Structures are given as C-alpha cells and as structure tokens.
C-alpha cells in the first residue's frame, strides 16, 4: 500500500511530558504511519524494553499492527509498526445554512462515503437533526462494519461556537434554534462523543491537516457560501478571540452607506458576496442589463449554485456578478492581509469552484489596496479539498481529540 503524504499538524508532543507514555506512543505511530520499535524508543526517549512493552499493549488494541520488513541497517531487518487507519470511522457533518452534508472517514481523513441534501437548516432545527441522523445512517450502511467501528461525530455549524460550551449556538445567526444545538439526542442515538465547532474554523483545520494549508503556520481560510466566515490559523492553531467570535469577516463593513445586514450593521461583506446577495444582484442585472434576456439565467429560479454554473459556462451576466463579488471580497481580503500578514489565504465553500474566474479579479483588487507585493497576492488560492473540506474538518476535530486524548478510543480505556 502506498503511504499518503503525512499531514503537517503540530508535531508529536515530545514536549507534552506528563502525558501517559502509551498515549505519546500511539500518537507518534499515527504521525509516523510506519515506524520501527527502535525508532519509536528514540522518539519517545525511552529504553528499548519500555518501548517493547508499550508496543505489545498497543498491538492488543488493534490500533497498531506489525507489518512487513523495514529497510535493513546492516543487521536483522526490523518489523515495522503501522497505525491502523481503518480500525475506526468518524462521521463529519457540515451543517450549512441551506444544506447538510455528511462524510464518513477513516482515521486519516479519507472519505469512505458521502451524502448531501438541501435543507432549510436555519428555519428547521428538528428536521435538520433528523436529516443528520438519516444521512449518517446511510453513510454507515455503505461501509461494512462501520456502525460498530464508529469513534465519534464532528459537527460544523454556521455560527460562532463557544469553545467552553459548544452545545450552545449563537441566537443571532440561527434564531430558530433558540441558542441550543439539541445534538444530545444524536450523541445518545449513536452512543459516541459528539464535538462541535464553527464551520470556517473546521475548514481551516481540514486545509491545515490535509489540504492547501499543509506546512503553513499562519493562514486564513475563508468560507464562501450563503454566509461568509473566516478561520484564522495562527501558529498552527485556530485563533478564536476573546469571546470565540474571531473570524466573522462576513460582517466587516466595506461600505458604511451599504444595505442593512442581519447583524444591524450596514454594507457588510456578506451583503455583497453572500449567497443571497449574489441572487439579488443577478436578478437586478437581468432587469437592468440589456443582455439580460439572453443570459442563461433568464427565466430561471436563480440560486447561488446556478449563478456559479452559468459563470463556469461563460455566461457574460453571471460572470459580471462573480467579478463584482470578487472585487468586494478583495477589499475585505486586502484589509485582512494588512492586519494579519498570513502566509496564504485559502478560499473554500461552493464559490471556490470558480477558480481563476474568482481569483484573478480578486487579486487585482488586493494588489491595488495593500502594502504587500503582487507575489504575496498570488498566495490567495482555492481549497484543495473542494466542497467536502468542511465535513472533513468536522471529522478531523474528532480525530485530533482522539490523538490528544487516546482514551476516546474504546480499546485504550482502562
């Protein structure tokens, strides 16, 4: 089997003394993917006999197995220890404003099954929870043995999440949810831990572990969907701010005389670039633009997805709507670059599929408005994980928690 490129999250916690050696050993083997007992004892700075004892305990958990022969260094060829990525599965849920997507992944972020359905998430909390369960069940049914191997559920929500009390939800963004996720029912149904974080934060986590943010300590991920949010990766960690509300770039005002926004402000970025703004602008353009009647969008029930598809089909009106949005996004990103000086800006969410049609006008605006050179502006790129990124990030939330606290693995308890 060919090994995947190892992810680049925080290195094995050599500095994290005080953690049980068995936990450090498991984490080290996960990061190495394959490692000999000798290398493991060197990495953990323990004797060969201590390493051997740790390994025999880990072999009993089935999270680690012995495989093949490693390269010989003159003597006997060593047996390698391999982390068993398929010993458990994780459900990663992307709860958007207007859709639910669920990814079933293994313990290395590989998507084994995928389900997605449009749903009025903001208006219908009960229906949304039922849909998450239905899509989760369908994903688990796709993979033999998955139901009994489920390790946990990660959920990405389109609202700020209080890190200390993640079961609460911001009532400003999702008023119908009345400030609570109600995910306890899902946790009880599956009998596994359920973890929650903000969707843009999890998009950033996914890019850092498996995508365009690998090896980059400081970057900003921007989710372009119905809502606009940013995940700020600072020194390899998500920066949350004093009250967990950092990254709400969608509500940065770029025009004080602009249209009113749900947040009470005027001219927020989301009123120019969010899904609803794109639809409003396309409708207006169809009426005002002399080319309107010839557009692919004429006579359609316009959705953001339809605008993106028409732009990809080179429809001039749809391309103008996208270009206009890109320029407005550029104004906000220019401010972000001047303020944070990130190593990269990674665009995710459905609009990211527009690629250069989005990036080229956006970079033009950024170069005109920042102190940085055009070279730095080219570090604005689209997600490598595509529309599945946020669900993969939700699964990674559970994986990261289990590597940090291996007692989440049933076989590591007691």
Name the residues that contact Zn ion, by CB under 5 A: 251, 261, 263, 265, 268
- Min dist CB 248 to Zn ion, Å, is 8
CA dist., res. 33 & res. 346, Å (int): 27
Q: For Zn ion, which is the closer residue by CB, 154 or 349?
A: 349
Rounded to 5°, the CA angle 19-20-26 comes to: 100
The smaller minimum CB distance to Zn ion, of residues 127 and 171, is found at 171
Backbone angles phi, psi at 278, to 5 degrees: -60, -45
Count of C-beta atoms within a 10 Å radius of residue 227? 24
Give least dist CB 265 to Zn ion, A.
4
CB 336 within 8 A of CB 212: no
Residue 307 CB, nearest approach to Zn ion (Å): 21
Nearest CB to Zn ion, comparing residues 196 and 268: 268
Angle (nearest 5°) at CA 342 between 30 and 264: 110
Q: How far is the CB of 257 from Zn ion (least distance, A)?
A: 14
Nearest distance, CB of residue 250 and Zn ion, angstroms: 7
Residue 332 sits at the vertex; the CA angle it makes with 212 and 307, to the nearest 5 degrees, is 75
Which runs of E-coded beta strand occur in 22-85?
34-36, 64-69, 79-83
Q: State the CB neighbour count (10 A cutoff) for residue 168.
A: 16
- Pick from 393, 327, 401: which is nearest to 358 by CA? 327
Nearest approach in angstroms of CB 253 to Zn ion is 7
Comparing CB distances to Zn ion, the nearer of 46 and 263 is 263
Q: Which is nearer to Zn ion, 199 or 315 (CB)?
A: 199
Tokens of 148: 């009994």
User: Which contiguous run of DSSP H or E holds residue 161?
Assistant: none
3-state DSSP assignment of residue 320: helix
* Residue with Cβ nearer Zn ion (128 or 198): 198
Instruction: Name which of 262 and 400 has its Cβ closer to Zn ion.
Output: 262
CB 119 within 8 A of CB 96: no
Supply the minimum distance, in Å, between the C-beta of residue 261 and Zn ion. Answer: 3
Report in angstroms how near the CB of residue 222 gets to Zn ion at its nearest.
15
- Residue pair 349/358 in contact by the 8 Å Cβ criterion: no
Residue nearer to Zn ion on the CB measure, 261 or 408: 261
């Amino acid at each position: 089997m060919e090994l995947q490129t190892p992810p680049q999250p925080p290195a094995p916690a050599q500095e994290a003394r005080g953690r049980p050696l068995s936990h450090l050993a498991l984490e080290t083997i996960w990061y190495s993917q394959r490692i000999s007992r000798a290398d493991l004892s060197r990495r953990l700075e323990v004797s060969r006999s201590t390493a051997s004892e740790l390994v025999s305990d880990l072999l009993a958990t089935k999270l680690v197995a012995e495989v093949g022969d490693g390269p010989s260094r003159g003597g006997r060829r060593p047996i390698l220890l391999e982390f068993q990525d398929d010993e458990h599965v994780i459900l990663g849920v992307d709860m958007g404003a207007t859709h639910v997507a669920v990814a079933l992944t293994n313990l290395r972020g590989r998507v084994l099954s995928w389900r997605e359905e449009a749903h009025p998430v903001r208006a219908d909390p009960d229906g949304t929870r039922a849909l998450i369960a239905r899509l989760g069940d369908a994903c688990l049914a796709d993979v033999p043995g998955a139901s009994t191997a489920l390790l946990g559920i990660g959920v990405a929500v389109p609202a700020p999440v209080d890190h200390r009390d993640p079961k609460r939800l911001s009532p400003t963004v999702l008023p119908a949810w009345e400030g609570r996720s109600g995910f306890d029912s899902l946790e009880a149904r599956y009998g596994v831990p359920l973890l929650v974080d903000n969707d843009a934060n999890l998009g950033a986590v996914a890019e850092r572990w498996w995508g365009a943010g690998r090896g980059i300590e400081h970057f900003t991920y921007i989710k372009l969907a119905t809502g606009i949010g940013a995940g700020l990766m600072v020194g390899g960690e998500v920066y949350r701010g004093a009250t967990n509300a950092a990254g709400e770039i969608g509500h940065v005002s770029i025009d004080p005389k602009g249209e009113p926004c749900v947040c009470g402000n005027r001219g927020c970025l989301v009123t120019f670039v969010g899904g609803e703004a794109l639809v409003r602008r396309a409708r207006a353009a169809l009426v005002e633009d002399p080319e309107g009647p010839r557009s692919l969008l004429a006579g359609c029930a316009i959705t953001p997805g339809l605008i993106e598809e028409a732009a990809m089909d080179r429809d001039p009106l749809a391309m103008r709507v996208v270009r206009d949005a890109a320029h407005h996004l550029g104004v906000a990103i220019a401010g972000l670059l001047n303020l944070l000086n990130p190593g990269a800006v990674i665009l995710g969410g459905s609009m990211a599929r527009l690629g250069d049609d989005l990036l080229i006008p956006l970079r033009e605006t950024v170069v005109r408005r920042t102190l940085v050179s055009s070279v730095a502006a080219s570090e604005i790129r689209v997600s490598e994980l595509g529309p599945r990124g946020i669900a993969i990030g939700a699964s990674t939330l559970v994986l990261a928690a289990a590597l940090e606290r291996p007692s989440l693995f049933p076989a590591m308890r007691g």
